[in-house]
Structure 1
Amino acid sequence: MSERTFYEFFAGGGMARAGLGQGWRCLFANDFDPKKAASYAENWGGDVLHVGDVANVATNQLPGHADLIWASFPCQDLSLAGNGAGLGGARSGTFWPFWNLVKSLRDEKRKPRTIVLENVCGLLTSHGGADFAALCNAIGDAGYWFGALVIDAQHFVPQSRPRLFLVAVDQSMNIPGHVISPYAVDMWHPHRLRTVQATLPERLRSRWLWFAPPVPKPSATRLIDIIEDEQTGPCWASEADTARLLGMMSPVNRAKIDLVMANRHRSVGAVYKRTRMEAGRKMQRAEVRFDLAGCLRTPGGGSSRQIIMMIENGRVRSRLMSARETARLMGLPDRYKLPERYNDAYHLTGDGVAVPAVRYLAENILLPVLNLREPHIVAA
C-alpha cells in the first residue's frame, strides 16, 4: 500500500501527526504559536513546518496533492468557557482563511481527498447551530460528502474528553459501506448532533453521511497507570493544603474519599476545582473521580489545572498533575519531548487532540475510504 500524505493545519505539537503514525507522510504543517511550533520541530523536525498566521499561507507553499487535510482549528470562541463569538471570533474565526486555502487547492485541481475538522462539541450549539451549519455549507459547496461524529478519548485513555470530528470526503470518491450507517448511532451521534443535523437544509442533508466505526475495545489503561514512577513535576502539597482541598468537597465527593480510604488500597484520583451554585450563591468546590481524569484544558487559571490525589495506607496526598502525566492522558508516548516550562507543556497538551482518537478515526474511516478500489453507490 502506498504511503498516504497529509497537510496538518493548526498543528500544535503534532498530535494529529502522532495519531496518524507510520504509513502517513506530512507534506506541510502550520501553526501560529511559536512555542507550540518549537515542540513540533523538536519532535518531528522543522522541514515541513511553517510558523505564522494561516491567513498568510499561499497554495504554492503546499507541495503535492494531499490525501488528507487535518485541521484542529482553535476552539476558544466555541467552548463553554469562551466568549460566545463563535466562528466570527478572532481565534475560531481563523477557520475561514484556512478554508480559503482549501478552495484555492480545489481551483488548482489539487483538492484534498479527505478533510477532518476537529473541535469542541460546543461547535454544535454555537449561535444556535448557525456556526455548524456554516461549516457544513462551506464543505458541501466545495464538493464533499460529509458527516460528523463525537469521539470521547475515554475509549482509549483515562480522560473524559469528547470532541467533534467533522469528516469530509471528495464527492468523486466511493464510500465503503462498512464505515457508514443508514441512520444515526447513539454512541457516535449524540442527541445534540442529531438535532442540529436535522435543521440543515435538504441540499446539505443529502450530502450527509452517518460515519459509524466499530465500537472500540475497552481501554486497559487506568488513571493510576499514568502516574509517574519518578516524579518530575510539581511537588506534593503540604498536609494543610491537602486538608483545605478536602474541605472544599461536597458531602458526595468527600464520601468517595472516605470509601477509598476504607479499602486500604493504593488509589489515585483526579481533582478539579469548579464553581457551583449552592443555595443561591457561588461556591468553589473540589470534585474527584477515581476512574477518569476530567478534560484537560489550557492553564488559563489555577482552577483549570488538574490535581492528583493519592490515597495509600490511610494517608491522603495531593499535587498538581505533572506535564508528563498530562501527555500520557493525551496518548502521547513517553519519548515525546515536552517543553521544559510546566505551563508551556500543560498548554501544549491541554490544547491538543487525543492521539489514539486520531489513530482510531484514521484506521476505521480515513484509510478504508482512501484504500477503496471497488465502486460503491452512496445513498443520499
Structure 2
Amino acid sequence: MKNFTFIDLFAGIGGIRLGFQSVGGTCIFTSEWNDWAKKTYQANFGDNHPFIGDIVPFPEDEIPDHDVLLAGFPCQPFSIAGVSKKNALGRPHGFECTTQGTLFFDVARIIAAKRPKAFLLENVKNLVSHDGGNTFKVIIETLRDELGYDVHYKVIDGQNWVPQHRERIIIVGFKNKTDFSWDNLEIPEIKLTLKSILHPEDGSEKPEEPYTVGEKAKVHSKYVLSDKLWAYLQAYAEKHRAKGNGFGYGLVTENDVARTLSARYYKDGSEILISRGKGKNPRRLTPRECARLMGFPDDFIIPVSDTQAYRQFGNSVVVPVIKAVAKLMLPHI
C-alpha cells in the first residue's frame, strides 16, 4: 500500500473517497454544496481538513497540492456554440471556452493549476451520448489534448459487485504516460442477489431502529406501501402496458437483481419494490438496505431523514467498483 493524498470534489456522502481510502489514500480537501450530504459525510469522516461548499467561486490556488483528484461531477449541458466567435475576438479558447459555465470547467481549471499525478471522474452512462456525443468529446479533448493527460474511460456495471444494474462512466487520467489497462480490472466471479443486502427478519441481525424493530428485527411497517399507493402504481403500470410502453414498477424478490436506485426513490419506491408474498403489499427498501445496495459498510452512519438518505444513496457510487478501480490505478499514481 502506497500513501498518497487526494481531494474529493462534488463529494456527496463520500463513496468515491471510501474507495481510495481503501488503497492507502488520505483525503486532504473536500467540496460538497448540499448541507444534508455534508451532514452525512462529516458524521462518517469527521475531518480536520478544509471542507468547503460550492467549488465554483473557490480559487484553485487555495486548494492544497495533491496526488489524485476525485470528482463525481454533475453532468450539465455543454455549449460549444460561439467558440469560433470568441476565437475571432481573441478571447479564451480551449477548455476555458468550451466548458465555461459547466461544473466540468471547475474540474479542468483545478487540474490545470495543480497538475495532480492522476484523477478519477465519475458520471452517468448517458454522458457518453449526451448532445450526440459532443459533450463527451469536449471532456476527453480537454483532458487529453488541452491538459495533456493519459486518459482512459470505461462504462462499468455495478451489478458485478452488488445486486443492482447500475452503469456509470469512469474516466481516469495520469499526468505521465502509463501502461494502465482496463483489461486488468478485477471483477468478482460470483454475482450477488438481493438476499445479500435485505434484512433477514429472523433475529440473526440486531434491530436498527427506525429501520428494523423487535426481537426478530422485522422491517418497520412504515416501509410497506399503503393500499392507495400500491393500487395507483398497479393502475399506472397497466395504463402504460396497454399503450405498449415499458413504464411501471420493479417488483423483485430476494433472488433477483434490482434496477438502478435513483435519487427519486423517496417519492414512491417504484423502481425497486420488495415482494412480501402473494396478496401482500410490497415494501420499499430501508435506507440501510440502500446503503448495502451501493456497497457501503454496515457501520456507515445515516444521520438524516429517510427522504434525504434515499436521495443520497441514489446519487452515490457503488463503493466496491471505485475500490476496484482505485486498486487498478494505484501502481500508476
Amino acid at match of 2:128: L
Q: Within the alignment, does 1:227 sit opposite 2:190 as a pair?
A: no
Structure 1 CA distance for aligned equivalents of residues 50 and 197 of structure 2: 30
For 2:150, the aligned partner's letter is W
TM-score (norm 2): 0.78
Q: Identity over the aligned pairs, expressed in percent?
A: 26
**Residue type of the partner of 1:285?**
G
Aligned match of 1:129:
133
Q: 1:158 to 1:337 in 2, by over 3 A?
A: same
Q: Distance in 1 between matches of 2:270 and 2:198?
A: 16
- CA distance in 2 between partners of 1:97 and 1:152 (Å): 27
Matched residues, number:
294
Code of the residue aligned with 2:332 in structure 1: it is V
1:20-31 aligned at under 5 Å gives the runs 20-22=20-22, 23-31=24-32
Measure, in 2, the Cα distance between the counterparts of 1:283 and 1:120.
21
More displaced stretch, 13-22 vs 45-54: 45-54
Q: Secondary structure at the match of 1:149?
A: strand
Query: Which of 257, 262, 268 lines up with 1:297 in the alignment?
Result: 262
CA RMSD of aligned residues (A): 2.9
Aligned equivalents of 1:361, 1:237: Cα separation in 2: 38
Runs of 5+ consecutive residues of structure 2 not aligned to the other structure? 81-98, 202-206, 213-219
Partners of 2:79 and 2:301 in 1: how far apart?
A: 32
Please tell me whether the aligned partners of residues 307 and 318 of structure 1 are also in contact (alpha carbons under 8 angstroms).
Answer: no
**How has the CA–CA distance of structure 1 residues 300 and 214 changed in structure 2, closer, same or farther, with 3 Å as cutoff?**
closer
Secondary structure at 1:116 match in 2? strand
Q: 1:68 corresponds to which residue? A: 68
- The 5-angstrom pairing of residues 329-344 of structure 1 reads 329-344=293-308
Q: Which residue of 2 aligns with 1:183?
A: none
C-alpha distance in structure 2 between counterparts of 1:368 and 1:24, whole Å: 13
CA 1:219–1:347: 2 relative to 1, 3 Å = farther
Contact residue 287 and residue 306 of structure 2 kept, 8 A: yes
Q: Which has the higher strand share?
A: 1
Looking at structure 2, the residues matched to 323 and 137 of structure 1 have their Cα atoms a distance apart, in angstroms, of 39
Larger CA deviation: 19-28 vs 43-52:
43-52
- Structure 1 equivalent of residue 107 of structure 2: 98
Distance 2:285 2:21 in 1: 27
1:262-301 maps to which residues of 2 (within 5 A)? 276=240, 278-279=242-243, 285-290=248-253, 291-299=256-264
Which 5+ residue runs of structure 1 have no aligned equivalent?
Answer: 78-84, 106-110, 181-210, 251-274, 371-380
Query: What aligned pairs does 1:77-156 form with structure 2 within 5 A after superposition?
Result: 77=76, 85-86=77-78, 93-105=102-114, 111-140=115-144, 141-156=146-161
The aligned residue for residue 157 of structure 1 is 162
Q: d(CA) in 2 for partners of 1:326 and 1:284?
A: 22
Q: CA deviation at 1:143?
A: 1.3
* Corresponding position of 2:19: 19
Q: What letter is aligned with 2:151?
A: F
> In structure 2, do the counterparts of structure 1 residues 87 and 46 end up closer, same or farther at CA, with 3 Å as the change threshold?
farther
CA distance in 2, matches of 1:52, 1:241: 37
8 Å contact 2:9–2:73 — kept in the other structure? yes
3-state SS of paired residue (1:339): coil
